[in-house]
Structure 1
Amino acid sequence: MSNDFLQSIKSRRTYYGIGKEVIVPEARIQEIVQEAVKYTPSSFNSQSARVVVLFGEQSDKLWDLTTETLRKLINNDEQFASTAQRMAGFRSGYGTVLYFEDQEVVKGLQDAFPSYSDNFPIWSNQSSGMLQFVIWTALELEGLGASLQHYNPLIDEQVQKEWNIPSSWKLIAQMPFGNPTAQPGDKEFKPLEERVKFFS
């Protein structure tokens, strides 16, 4: 079991080449997301994570509005061409997972435990990172490819309006996914001796 878990971690990669072919039913993706949200740990068991999953045309709409937002910010046509190409790649997927953290929950913890006040936003982001990793790895185990993107806070207002998101939900990340159409390249690793220490 331990080896299977570690292998799933090793297998998770960033896929930029994704398509719209439905190889995993929406119901299965919903199940994965619900289980991940339920069981991913959070500080003080705050359960501050919030997730929205956009399928099909709803996912397309997200990347269309992101493209429109970036077009207003990038005046150089040549520079925008590469940005538009990147957006089209995300749009080519089957869906997108939006990750949020409920700031009302974070604020409630800050008020209840003032000694840790500065840490709760940090712990909130750490919990979100764990959730992103859990869902990302679970989607890959189903045969899907995904990547993690961060166009917040540029698109926060549009997302909130378009999908009626509560104002207390802070957008943390976006994860486009779909059937893999291109394999990721080789991954390079820095020496573990520089990154890990053991003491007995």
Structure 2
Amino acid sequence: MSVQTLQQIAEKRRTIYVLNKELPVSQAEISQIVEHAVLHTPSSFNSQSTRAVVLFGLEHEKLWDIAAAELRKIVPEDKFEPTANKLNAFKAGAGSILFFEDQAVVRGLQEQFPAYAANFPIWADHANAMTQYAIWTTLAAADVGANLQHYNPVIDAEVAKTWDIPANWTLRAQMVFGGIDAPAGEKTFNPLEERFKVYGAN
């Protein structure tokens, strides 16, 4: 695969909000994409602390019903409609991927390498984010739309109870995926000269 092909796929990866349940690939292929990223994404000290749970169909819809129920506890009823509309858009997708960090692994590294203890939670989140990006980009290459959400910690307890999540797994993000009903909007870019520098090049 050429550098240009990889860059084109990176450009193709966008936040797609208008999703449907008609996946262009099989559920098995989605699971394989997630499995591959979990297996091959790098992590500090080869800690491999990222965990992922894939939800399809009714299990996926259950996640967004949980989010709605938990948010109703904190969002006033007269202001809930925009939240409900957003959650229903996620529910309209074909599935969700839950991303976790195994805190037992992180604590083990902190104990083993105390000089770096403060950094291990940060490095763990770096690995989690790389896993999210690897999955998101591969989904885009397969013409599967996706968007990334962060309803943690509001939904954490119910998610853990519903899917029997180990107590040491901390929820970090939720990726909704599905068929693409509408493309992403135009993307804007901040000036590169404010974001990118090179020194020492010939």
TM over 0.5: yes
Distance 1:62 1:194 in 2: 39
C-alpha distance in structure 2 between counterparts of 1:55 and 1:196, whole Å: 40
Q: Which residue of 2 aligns with 1:183?
A: 183
Q: Which amino acid in the other structure matches residue 51 of structure 1?
A: A
Which residue of the partner structure matches residue 136 of structure 1? Answer: 136
Q: State the partner residue of 1:49.
A: 50
TM-superposed CA distance for 1:22, in Å, is 3.0
- The whole-number CA distance in structure 2 between the counterparts of 1:35 and 1:76 is 42
Aligned to 2:145: 145
Match of residue 90 from structure 2 = 90
Q: Partners of 1:33 and 1:12 in 2: how far apart?
A: 16
Deviations 1:34-68 (A, max 9, x none): 11001000000000010000000000000001011
1:9-45 C-alpha deviation (Å, 9 max, x unpaired)? 1110000000011321011011111110010000000
Q: Which amino acid aligns with 1:153?
A: P
Query: Secondary structure of the equivalent of 1:148?
Result: strand
Q: Which residue in the other structure is 2:124 paired with?
A: 124
Match of 1:25 in 2: 26
Aligned residue for 1:198, secondary structure, equals coil
- The equivalent residue for 1:165 is 165
8 Å contact from structure 2 (residues 16, 183) kept in 1: yes
CA offsets, 1:139-196, max 9 Å, x none?
Answer: 1111111000000000000000000000000000000100000111101001111101
Amino acid in structure 2 at the alignment position of 1:89: A
Give the Cα separation in 2 of the matches to 1:120 and 1:91: 34
C-alpha displacement of 1:72 = 1.0
The one-letter code matched in structure 1 to 2:86 is: R
Aligned mates of 1:183, 1:7 — CA distance in 2 = 16
Structure 1 unpaired stretches of 5+: none
Share of identical aligned residues, percent? 50
Letter in 2 for 1:177: F
> Cα RMSD over matched residues?
0.7
Residue 75 of structure 2 aligns with an amino acid whose one-letter code is I
Q: Which runs of at least 4 in structure 1 moved beyond 2 Å after TM superposition?
A: none
Bigger mean CA deviation after superposition, 22-31 or 190-199:
22-31
Paired AA for residue 116 in structure 1: Y
Report the 3-state secondary structure (helix = DSSP H, G, I; strand = E; otherwise coil) of the residue aligned with 1:147: strand
Question: One-letter code of the match for 1:180?
Answer: I
Q: Structure 2: how far apart are the matches of 1:183 and 1:29?
A: 20
- Could you list the per-position Cα deviations for residues 74-111 of structure 1 after superposition, in whole angstroms to 9, with x for gaps in the alignment? 1141x210000000000000000000010000000000
Which AA in structure 2 matches 1:3? Q
